Amino acid sequence: MKQIRMLKKAMNERYIVPAFNFANFEILRGVLDTAKELKSPMILQISESAMNYFSDELLSGIIQAIRKIKHPISIHLDHGKTLSVVKRAIRLGFDSVMIDGSTLPFAKNVKLTKSVVDFAHSKNVSVEGELGVLAVSNDDGMLSDGERFTSPKQAKEFVALTGVDSLAVSIGTNHGVNKYIDEPKIRYDILKKIEKEIPSIPIVLHGASLVEQKYIQDINNFGGKIDRAIGNENLLKNAYKTHICKINMDTDFRLAFTSAVRKYMSENPEKYNPRDYGNAGIQAVKECAKYRIVSICKSNNRV
């Protein structure tokens, strides 16, 4: 199973495999070129809504094309919620899948995840499960820290009961641009306890985008409106020293692309060829990917 080999290598050599989502062709082009240039392995992630955006027909062509590239790239289903979307992804040629039962009660999460593991492993596809709930603190007011963050003891039980190959955990990060209400903080103390309970399981960190303020400023300066954006800037510098072997970033590429396109369009009002502003977007995505590969993941020159 391709992805799990990639993650175990990263674990042994102490780096992180970047797992970048692509929401459109330009982001795909930008991250792919950068991974190749920097000799970094990469996981390309696609959510169910991104699958629908591309259409299965086109996506299967894209996947076949990516498979021909001589570079370690794994294609991964992000946040699959049902066995049926997992089967769809496997039919399309994905190397690995995530089954996200994190909002379900523990027993139901185990049942769903185990059913996916049984199916996926029979097809030589690896599985990422999730335990703990990614939710902005106080936002819902419903979850206590104990319910929200991954319990190290339950993580051990979950892995034993389901047979997942990697585990996504909740240690403070959140999806999107508004990651924190209070002081930004990742609970590395909880991560350490999880690592002790499941020492050989690669850990996955979702909601890892940095949300650099330069992107927010450009978006807002050129007609956009994004409020209270706050991400993981400065919080992931030492993540490569832990068992986090895969970090998920999607928002950063959306921000990089959108800020560059807004700026380009504002400064070049006479342009209307999508390839003109698309190229500006690709360049911004490349720069964004480079920084994350080199400074956060340390995954360059690992191929």
Which of 63, 250, 259, 260 forms a contact with ligand 13P (CB under 6 A)? Answer: 250
**Catalytically active residues, by annotation:** 78
- Which of Zn ion, ligand 13P, ligand G3H, none does residue 249 bind to, with CB < 5 to 8 Å depending on kind? ligand 13P
Helices (H), the chain: 2-13, 25-37, 48-54, 56-67, 83-92, 106-122, 145-148, 152-162, 188-197, 213-221, 251-267, 274-291
- Which of ligand 13P, ligand G3H, Zn ion, none does residue 209 bind to, with CB < 5 to 8 Å depending on kind? ligand 13P
- Cα separation of 292 and 289, whole Å? 5
Return the range that interacts with ligand G3H (CB under 6 A); candidates 8-16, 25-33, 46-54, 143-151.
46-54
Q: What is the DSSP string of 111-172?
A: HHHHHHHHHHHHTT-EEEEEES----TTTSS---HHHHSPPHHHHHHHHHHH--SEEEE-SS
Contacts with Zn ion by CB under 5 A lie at: 206, 248
Nearest residue (CB) to ligand 13P, 125 versus 249: 249
- Cα separation of 211 and 198, whole Å? 30
38 contacts 20 by C-beta, under 8 angstroms = no
Which of 76, 79, 114, 179 forms a contact with ligand G3H (CB under 6 A)? Answer: 79
Q: Crossing angle for the helix pair 83-92 and 56-67, nearest 10 degrees?
A: 50
The least distance separating Zn ion from the CB of residue 207, rounded to whole angstroms, comes to: 6
The least distance separating Zn ion from the CB of residue 248, rounded to whole angstroms, comes to: 5
Exposure string for 171-201, b = 16+ CB within 10 A, e = fewer: bbbbbebbbbeeebebbbebbeebbebbeeb
Interface with ligand 13P in residues 18-47 (CB under 6 A): 21
Return the range that interacts with ligand 13P (CB under 6 A); candidates 153-161, 243-251, 277-285, 289-297.
243-251
Assess 175 for contact with ligand G3H (CB under 6 A).
Answer: yes
Beta bridge partners of 18: 247
Nearest residue (CB) to Zn ion, 178 versus 220: 178
280 contacts 22 by C-beta, under 8 angstroms = no
| Burial of 121 from C-beta contacts in 10 A (0-12 / 13-18 / 19+) | middle
- Which of Zn ion, ligand 13P, ligand G3H, none does residue 203 bind to, with CB < 5 to 8 Å depending on kind? none
The least distance separating Zn ion from the CB of residue 268, rounded to whole angstroms, comes to: 34
Assess 249 for contact with ligand 13P (CB under 6 A).
Answer: yes
Nearest to 250 by CA among 76, 38, 81: 76
The least distance separating ligand G3H from the CB of residue 204, rounded to whole angstroms, comes to: 11
Which of 39, 121, 175, 193 forms a contact with ligand 13P (CB under 6 A)? Answer: 175
Nearest residue (CB) to ligand G3H, 79 versus 302: 79
Nearest residue (CB) to ligand 13P, 52 versus 271: 52
293 contacts 18 by C-beta, under 8 angstroms = yes
User: Can you give the binding site for ligand G3H, defined by CB under 6 A?
Assistant: 21, 47, 49-50, 78-79, 175, 250
Binding site for ligand 13P (CB under 6 A): 21, 78-79, 175-176, 206-209, 248-252
